């Protein structure tokens, strides 16, 4: 299976010693499931996009420090490609920035959260079960770091999970699109480094509670299994 990674950001040099780069994180995530997959990398933030939606069997979209509503050329081109993936019903998984872009491109709304930063380990309450959610969970703890979030789902989307901070934490469209705000590819060590690097821009109580939340282990194997089942369904 050939999976295209639509890479919308990069890991800064001081953090590369933790888990490597973004492709390394996704390779490790998919490797947990023994999925026989070849990862093809597209540096979207540098203007590199696939020429066609069928260049790969499925697509993953990464997070980014940018906002989907910024008027950068690469962001607008990325939005057009997401629209094409949906039109062609190509298997697509959007994570963080990718989750938000799917919502915006297909008619939803993304804004800077009035609740401030969402960081650390948060539990997503599963509001609707899908056949690929094996093993089934009523709640799944995952790693978050974001300021923007989906405030309105696109038409036809099914809400799959919510947190108190992020009501639209996970949604699906048809059988071909899965979008999630959290980062299943991150480790707690990497997220801790990110949070600590942003101390000056995160409200102190949020900063401390986010770090404290990292003491509880997130689900790792279960979200990875869900991704495998979704991509192969």
- 46-53 average pLDDT score: 97
The CA distance from 84 to 88, in Å, is: 6
96 among known catalytic residues: yes
Please count the other Cβ atoms lying within 10 Å of the Cβ belonging to residue 51: 6
Separation of CA 148 from chain center? 12
Extents of the domains making up the chain: 2-232
55 among known catalytic residues: no
8 among known catalytic residues: no
pLDDT at 34 over 90: no
pLDDT of amino acid 98: 98
Catalytic residue among 123, 130, 185, 222: 185
Catalytic residue among 8, 56, 96, 166: 96
* pTM as predicted: 0.96
pLDDT at 139 over 90: yes
pLDDT of amino acid 203: 96
Catalytic residue among 86, 168, 176, 183: 183
Instruction: Tell me if the bond preceding 104 is cis, omega within 30° of 0.
Output: no
List pLDDT tens digits, range 142-177.
999 999 999 999 999 999 999 999 999 999 999 999
Phi-psi region of 193 (alpha: psi -120 to 50; beta: other; left: phi over 0): alpha
Q: What CATH number labels 2-232?
A: 3.40.50.880
């Amino acid at each position: 299976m050939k999976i295209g990674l639509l890479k919308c950001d990069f890991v800064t040099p001081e953090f590369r010693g933790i888990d490597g780069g973004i492709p390394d994180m996704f390779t490790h995530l998919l490797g947990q499931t023994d999925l026989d997959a070849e990862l093809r990398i597209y540096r979207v933030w540098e203007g590199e996009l696939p020429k066609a939606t069928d260049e790969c069997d499925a697509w993953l979209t990464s997070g980014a420090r940018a906002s989907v509503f910024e008027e950068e050329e690469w962001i607008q081109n990325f939005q057009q490609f997401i629209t094409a993936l949906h039109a062609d019903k190509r298997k697509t998984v959007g994570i963080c920035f990718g989750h938000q872009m799917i919502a915006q491109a297909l008619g939803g709304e993304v804004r800077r959260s009035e609740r401030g930063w969402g960081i650390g380990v948060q539990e997503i309450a599963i509001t609707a079960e899908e056949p690929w959610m094996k093993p089934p969970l009523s709640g799944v703890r995952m790693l978050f770091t974001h300021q923007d979030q989906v405030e309105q789902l696109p038409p036809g989307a099914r809400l799959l999970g919510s947190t108190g901070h992020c009501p639209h934490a996970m949604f699906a469209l048809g059988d071909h699109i899965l979008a999630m705000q959290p980062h299943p590819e991150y480790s707690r060590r990497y997220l801790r480094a990110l949070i600590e690097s942003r101390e000056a821009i995160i409200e102190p109580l949020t900063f401390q509670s986010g770090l404290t939340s990292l003491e509880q282990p997130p689900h790792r194997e279960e979200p990875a299994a869900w991704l495998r089942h979704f991509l192969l369904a």
